[in-house]
Structure 1
Amino acid sequence: MNGLIINLTHSVDDVDRTSVAIVIAGASVASSQETTVFLSSEGTRLAVTGVADTLHEEGFAPMSELVSSYIEAGGTFLVCSPCAKKRGIGEEDLIEGATIVGGASLVALLADGASSLSF
């Protein structure tokens, strides 16, 4: 892969941290890096349709703009399966560009040489 994986463990519980992560993801994909945001723990909520519309941290573009720009540029979201299940989130709840996956998917990307950041 030789791209970037951003592990995001926050969303509605820390909009500042979430905004920074998605800005970095957007910059990565805009720089022609294969970019994946892995949503785990509370981060999984960001993949639910409509949630990004409710988030806006002062000093940043609205979360809905950050997320849509990231997806339109070719970025993807992988959603931790047990984390989503714990929160009652199913495939039918997800935004375009997001997929529920098991941990093996993340491990495979890392084993392929992807760098990672965690927020």
Structure 2
Amino acid sequence: MARSLVIKVTAGTDAPERCNQAFTVAAAAAASGVPVSLWLTGEASWFALPGKADDLGLGLAHATPLSDLLAAVLAGGTVTLCTQCAARRDITAEDVIKGIRIAGAPTFIEESLTEGAQALVY
């Protein structure tokens, strides 16, 4: 069975380096053909909205732009916005970038406990 990677990112502009690390790992995994699932929670929830990865510009030296990393993950993996995090921010399924789903803890647990899965939290 192929190994998969589940990444939960809780940081946004409040911790830009940690946020960018999570997106970088997810994009690298997707580009390498590893099944990857990136979960947007907490302050990272805002990146599910169109243009927010650019608008909130992390401006980290030597870092790939967050919008490019998100596009890479969407092209080769899945991106999920936490149900509760979306509700707290009044974000609906109609608001998010095409290809991003909204799901909750049961789905995260299911993905994380799949045989061969490795879960990381940033």
TM, length-normalised to structure 1: 0.90
Q: For 2:84 and 2:52, how far apart are their aligned partners in 1?
A: 19
Partner of 2:51: 50
Offset at 1:69?
2.1
Counting only pairs closer than 5 Å after superposition, residues 97-108 of structure 1 correspond to structure 2 as 97-108=99-110
Offset at 1:97?
2.4
Q: How many residues align?
A: 118
Offset at 1:101?
0.3
Partner of 2:72: 69
Structure 2, unpaired ranges of 5+: none
Offset at 1:118?
0.8
Q: Please give the root-mean-square deviation of Cα atoms over the aligned residues, in Å.
A: 1.4
Q: Percent identity?
A: 30
TM, length-normalised to structure 2: 0.88
Q: For 2:54 and 2:67, how far apart are their aligned partners in 1?
A: 5
Structure 1, unpaired ranges of 5+: none
Counting only pairs closer than 5 Å after superposition, residues 70-89 of structure 1 correspond to structure 2 as 70-72=73-75, 74-89=76-91
Partner of 2:32: 31
Amino acid at match of 1:100: I
- Where does structure 1 differ by over 4 angstroms across 4 or more consecutive aligned residues? none
Contact 1:6 1:116 in 2 (8 A): yes
